[in-house]
Structure 1
Amino acid sequence: MSQTRYLWNPAPVYSLPVRGSDARLPVKRIFCVGRNYHAHALEMDRPVDKATMRPFYFLKDASTLVESGATVPYPTGTTNYHYEMELVVAIGKAGFRVAEADAHELIYGYAAGLDMTRRDLQLVAREQGRPWDLGKNFEKSAVCTEIIPVAELGVLEAGAISLSVNGDIKQSSDLSLLIWNIREIIADLSKFYHLEPGDLIYTGTPEGVGAVKPGNRITGHVDRVGDIALTIGDAE
């Protein structure tokens, strides 16, 4: 049988470590939920009314993934580089048009994540009604810890989430304050996508987002899930 020949090597498989396993979780897609804490929606001057609005999403390529503990260069094209601390849900089972009551069955596990953002570029795109890709979907912008299997934690309904820069607390909230909770997010996303094993969902960030600069060290925590760290290096 002949083998497929490619013009150049195919893209690598991007993956994350899994606690208690020597096997890694291959990442397929990265979905991000926008404005999923009321206080953050207000600080972005875009309040959310759950009764009349629905969740919205943007995507990051799997190639943007970087593991916790890394040093990343300050990105090009921005002077307002922001952190956003988030709970990450890893999907481990395929699902489409999933009922909210059954949505937890798709969860493989959880991680702590950072949705790093070129805020100035995002806001320009937002005001002009353009896609957010330059502000959100860029190299080394999706930081993530190891995956904690759901069997260890169950469905997370509450738990502290926080972030510090150089030891100073910048974000401090609780997962109970998510506007759309984990089951609601999975069920809603599955109306529009066939969710598949390896999909990650960044569930949204609390208030307190802000800029970092070269030399800053970011540390974050999600109760029962783990700690994340990132150092900002010099611009390339």
Structure 2
Amino acid sequence: MNEIRNIFCVGRNYRLHAEELGNAVPTSPFLFSKPTHALVEANGQTITLPGNRGEVHYETELVLYIARPFEPGMKVEDVVNKMALGIDFTLRDVQNELKEKSHPWLKAKGFPNSAVLTSFRPFPGVEACRGTDFSLFKNGEQVQCGNISNMLFDMQTIIEFTDEHFGLGEGDIIYTGTPEGVGAVADGDKLELRWGEEVWGTFTVQLQK
């Protein structure tokens, strides 16, 4: 896997996903981060997740790899050279408790193996991405399907916002948000990430008690 420095994640970037969880639809990009200890590549293996902290939900996303520092005026294709598919795993019960207390989400989002990634592929450009759906299959059944054309905040907006507020440089990655259809995983579930009809990554879930 490419060297990765910072992991930025865009929350509530698809209207139907925000609504399915009963969240307000944001009017500007909403970002959080994960530690690099959260990273794990989906290469057909078993991935262990915590099974003793409530439900663990999958959130499938398109992930951008930043190849050079962003400078004002640059377009997406100037700074992104690769992309992957990923899952932002979330301890949903923990997250709901943290939200009620107005606490940060890190405990719900940053645990080991919570940032699953396929291998990176060459970035074909924004318009080419609009022509292909990404999806998640669980035990052979499609459970999520998304297209970047349905994002509330497009890639250009996300990149500019991230750079303005946090800085953005080579080796950073951005999880760009999940479409509707998120749900819980069970021990032994087999998950498959697809770009169009092409399988980019697979793994089996092991819930650790």
In structure 1, the partner of 2:34 is 60
| TM norm structure 2 | 0.91
SS in structure 1 of the partner of residue 187 of structure 2: coil
In structure 2, the partner of 1:85 is 60
Identity of aligned residues (%): 35
More strand by share: 2
What is the number of equivalent residue pairs in this alignment?
206
**Larger RCO of the pair (alpha carbons < 8 Å, separation 6+):** 2
| TM norm structure 1 | 0.82
Range with bigger deviation, 202-211 or 71-80? 71-80
Q: Highest CA radius of gyration, 1 or 2?
A: 1
Instruction: Write the distance in 2 (CA, Å) between the matches of 1:225 and 1:122.
Output: 32
Q: Would you say the 8 A contact 1:104–1:183 is kept in 2?
A: no
In structure 2, the partner of 1:19 is none
Aligned residue among 99, 105, 126 for 2:78? 105
What is the CA RMSD across the aligned residues, in angstroms?
1.8
CA positional deviation for 1:102:
2.5
Q: Would you say the 8 A contact 1:112–1:226 is kept in 2?
A: no
In structure 1, the partner of 2:23 is 46
Instruction: Write the distance in 1 (CA, Å) between the matches of 2:88 and 2:67.
Output: 21
CA positional deviation for 1:234:
4.0
CA positional deviation for 1:95:
1.8
- In structure 2, the gaps of 5 or more residues are none
- In structure 1, the gaps of 5 or more residues are 1-15, 17-24
Q: Deviations over 1:73-123 (max 9, x none)?
A: 231542201111100000000125x34x62431112100101111111111
In structure 2, the partner of 1:170 is 143
In structure 2, the partner of 1:154 is 125
Instruction: Write the distance in 1 (CA, Å) between the matches of 2:37 and 2:20.
Output: 29
| Alignment of structure 1 residues 1-236 onto 2, 5 Å | 16=1, 25-48=2-25, 53-68=27-42, 69-96=44-71, 98-99=72-73, 102-150=75-123, 153-155=124-126, 156-223=129-196, 227-235=200-208
